[in-house]
Structure 1
């Protein structure tokens, strides 16, 4: 195989993406569809699921609910197995000091961001063993840096890196590769809400807070959802065959948050 050919996933991959109807998840779903994959997505947004491009099957599912995840895998079974599973579902969680965060807000963030990834991996790994497939867990640069006023989010994203490295060690002999992608400041509505909430907390304007966010990025720019999708494609391609157990930042070099 030529090196250039190894950069693209093989056609016909069976791909499952959680939270695949909006934002980064949707961009990844579209990217895999474009290279000839069969894609199944879940989301809690029924309208967004109904608007998915033709060729992407879907399930309404909340990864914080065990019964929903069971139903997701029942629906995805129509593909006859799985080659790539992307654990993308997550929420921003509260923006507040630790003394202001109530237990319900903390628990919900951990339950979706971390426990949801466990629930998906728990069901996906037997299928990935059969295909010698790929598990991609979405973390964040907040999984390698501290993030004031976002402690539940950061704690969950650090934990995902630990989950990833542990599963890579556990599953390596089965030929299953496990990696984490750590997006930086990704352009889109989600980061706009995060910046607005942080600005309100710190008594700054949106423009001031956006400038502060980018001040910690050496390239002084946001990344695009397509940058994250490109990394997911690469990790699922032959060129990524010996990449496992890695926490890969796609962030324009975020040095502080």
Structure 2
């Protein structure tokens, strides 16, 4: 199995790479973080690049095709949190940048992966959305808009590509433990006039299981969606979030 993961050098993407490697896959990642790429596990292929840069993505997929001769699994995982603020306080440039990385990044990765998968008559595209793409989140308008749009993209891909044996699904992580979510919660605490601990506990208590998600939980779902066990699973939104019951918990 040949797997490409965008934003794969750290966080959820790196956890995906580790899980796929354990499942016997070859792993290729791209990321904007050169230092994180330098620290990739032995045996992985890493390339620095912005998922929203079309020329760079076209060159990346040409290199993959030349090196591997095809691609079995795409994890379109690249994304940024975007600003945390009330909608009237968000700059248009920041809104556009959030959509560019989250939505256009998934589109470009899919655009260039599809020809290789069509040639093989098989493939699995897994896009990373968010529970923000299911519920909406106050103070996160750009991110929620992008993550809803990613789901629409995925469902359209599933319809277009099913006749070619290619499946497409989305994973919706909840709040995932790690530096990125820590930054989001710090900014939310400042925006709401709350302490960080209050915001953290609010996120945890807003789920049925009362806990934040680990990156490995997302990775396990990705491996399943790429497996033969999921051969009839396509066009689906798979929430891995401990069951979000209140997307804007207030203590």
TM tier relative to shorter chain: over 0.9
Match of 1:200 in 2: 190
How far apart are the structure 1 equivalents of 2:188 and 2:98? Answer: 17
**Counterpart check, 1:125 vs 2:114:** yes
Deviation string, structure 1 residues 7-30 (Cα, Å, up to 9, x no partner): xxxxxx010000000100001011
What is the CA RMSD across the aligned residues, in angstroms? Answer: 0.8
Q: 2:87 aligns with which of 95, 98, 107?
A: 98
How far apart are the structure 1 equivalents of 2:222 and 2:117? Answer: 16
How far apart are the structure 2 equivalents of 1:95 and 1:57? Answer: 34
**Counterpart check, 1:140 vs 2:143:** no
Q: How many Å apart are 1:219 and its aligned residue? A: 0.8
Aligned length: 245
Match of 2:23 in 1: 35
Runs of 4+ in structure 1 off by over 6 angstroms are: none
Query: Equivalent residues in 2 for 1:143-158 (5 A)?
Result: 143-158=133-148
Match of 2:153 in 1: 163
Match of 2:9 in 1: 21
Q: How many Å apart are 1:187 and its aligned residue? A: 1.0
Q: Retained in 2: the 8 A contact 1:69–1:120?
A: yes
Deviation string, structure 1 residues 200-220 (Cα, Å, up to 9, x no partner): 100111001111112211110
Deviation string, structure 1 residues 155-214 (Cα, Å, up to 9, x no partner): 000011111111101111111000000001111111111111100100111001111112
How far apart are the structure 2 equivalents of 1:75 and 1:197? Answer: 39
Q: How many Å apart are 1:75 and its aligned residue? A: 2.5
Deviation string, structure 1 residues 66-110 (Cα, Å, up to 9, x no partner): 121122212322111000000000000000111111111001000
Unaligned runs of 5+ in 2: none
**Counterpart check, 1:48 vs 2:24:** no
For normalisation by structure 1, the TM-score amounts to: 0.94
Match of 1:3 in 2: none
How far apart are the structure 2 equivalents of 1:222 and 1:213? Answer: 7
Q: 1:59 aligns with which of 40, 47, 51?
A: 47
Unaligned runs of 5+ in 1: 1-12
Q: How many Å apart are 1:152 and its aligned residue? A: 0.3
Q: Retained in 2: the 8 A contact 1:184–1:252?
A: yes
How far apart are the structure 2 equivalents of 1:85 and 1:143? Answer: 20
